[in-house]
Every structure is written in structure tokens, then in C-alpha cells.
Amino acid sequence: MNHYEQKQAERKAKLETRAQQAETQAAATYGQAREMGEAIPFGQPILVGHHSEGRDRKYRERIHNTYGKAFDLQKKAEHYADKAASVGKGGISSDDPDAITKLTRELEQLTVNQDRMKKINQVIRKHKDDSEGQRGALLDLGYSEDSAQKLTTPDYAGRLGFPSYALTNNNANIRRIQQRIKQLQANQERVPVSVQGTGYAYAEDVEENRVMFTFDGKPEKATREILKRHGFRWSPTRGAWMRQLNNAAIWQAKAVMQILNQSSDS
């Protein structure tokens, strides 16, 4: 497990802990609400005009609010549980130091799939109008009887084998991953950049894979809005306004620095 995977595992564990804490609090709060409700006899109405009316209404409102708090805590528990379940499910992150290796493996599999789909379609075209010949050829290629049957059975549009959109989509994924690998390789060749401006510092941190701005204290609201418009987000742990290192981020950072420098000159 590399440091990125370790960080993801820690984040997942932290979210799972928060989910469990909220679940426990929800159960306790729900139990409290039920216990409060048991103090009122079943079916007992509010005695309008009685000296106890005001107190009774307030007590029932407290019960209602306590149930509401329990339901809110349950939603909070589900929220954290969903976030924990999604950790690591968003594909291969550019922050992963093994990203190029993992993307290369994925690229190889997509390329194999592309060649496989092409070969199957070629076999099916070669034995056009001969379903038995098509299935036999696929069996010779090592496909199971069930797979051969499915591939030679027309779909809702009368197509056999793999439709053209399947090859087009797979090929688009191949190009996308090739581009990502190219970008990550370019990032590895970058050198760290550090610029000291008036009231701010700018850095391109190759190791962290981040472009970032830091300020002498909290920047003004106008400056924060400029950063947000250009895709930068505040990182409390890093104490900086950051976004992932890539060409687009560097271009946006230059635009931010131009605005900040013009403001300091005026």
C-alpha cells in the first residue's frame, strides 16, 4: 500500500467512525424520544383550557423535536456511510504515485478488449448468414457455448457481435487514458516553482501534485472570490488555496497572479 492508498484507507476509516458515532447517537436519541412519549397515556388528548395545557404542548413539542433530531442523526450516519463506501471508487486518481502503472494496466486491458471485439466481428462477418459457422468459429477461438450463442443472436436492432458504438466508446477510453498517462508523465518532468508576490506566495508542488496560493493571513473576500472563480479551493490541512497540478491549473494560476499584481499596483 503506497502513501496515497494509506491516506485513502485512513479517510475511509475516519468516515466509517463518524457514521457509527452518528448511528449510535441516533439510536440513543430515538430511545429518549420514545421514553418521553411513554409518559403520556396512549390516546391522551391535550386538555384545552386546563392549567396543564401549556406545559403539555411544550412537552409534546419536545418529543417531536427529539424524534426529528434522531432522524437527522440517522441521515447524517447514512451520509458518512455513503461517503466511506465511495472512497477509492472514483477511478484512478492522479494523486496516486502508482497512477501511471495502474493506468497502463487499464490501457492494456482496454486494448485487448478492442482487439477481441474486432476479431469477433470479423469472424461473424466472414460466416455471414451461417449462424452455425459463426458459433463454430467462436468456439474454436475458445469461447463458451453460451458466449458464442449470445454473440451470434441478433439484438433488438438486428446486430450481431459487438455494435459499432461499443468499439467507438472503448476506443475513446483508450485515447482518454493515453492522454492521462501523457499528462502524468509530463507532470513528473516538471520542476517545482515558487513565486513570492505582494501579500501572497505561489507554488507548483510536483510532489504533492498541487498548484497553490498562500497568503499573509486570511485574504479579503474579493480575493477569495477570484480564487474560487479560477478553480482554487481552501485546504485547511495545508493552509493554502489549491487545485490539482496540470496545464489548466497553471494557466488559471497565472490569471490569478495577474489580477493580484494589478490590485497591488493600483
Tens digit of each residue's pLDDT (9 = 90 or more) over 196-231: 998 899 999 988 889 999 998 899 999 999 999 999
The domain total for the chain is: 3
pLDDT in tens, 1-23: 788 888 889 999 999 999 999 99
- Report the pLDDT value the prediction gives residue 266, as an integer from 0 to 100: 62
| Residue 78 resides in a domain | yes
- 251 lies in some domain: yes
pLDDT of residue 234: 95
The C-alpha atoms of residue 155 and residue 138 are separated, in whole angstroms, by 18
181 and 202 share one domain: no
Which one of 38, 56, 86 terminates a domain? 86
Domain stop point among 60, 86, 112: 86
Which neighbouring-strand residues pair with 194?
Answer: 203
Residue 123 lies in domain = 99-186
pTM: 0.69
According to DSSP, residue 193 is labeled: E
Q: What is the CA radius of gyration of the chain?
A: 30
Confidence grade of residue 239 (pLDDT, cut at 50, 70, 90): very high
Say if residues 211 and 238 touch (Cβ distance below 8 Å).
no
Report residue 14 as a C-alpha cell: 475516519
User: 229 and 199, same structural domain?
Assistant: yes
Tell me: the pLDDT tens digits for 70-118?
999 999 999 999 999 988 888 888 888 899 999 999 999 999 999 999 9
Q: Which of 161, 186, 211 is the last residue of a domain?
A: 186
Contacts of residue 208, Cβ cutoff 8 Å, sequence gap at least 6 = 238, 245
Mean pLDDT of 124-130: 87
pLDDT of residue 208: 85
151-170 pLDDT tens trace: 988 888 888 899 999 999 99
Q: 93 in a domain, yes or no?
A: no
pLDDT score of 112: 95
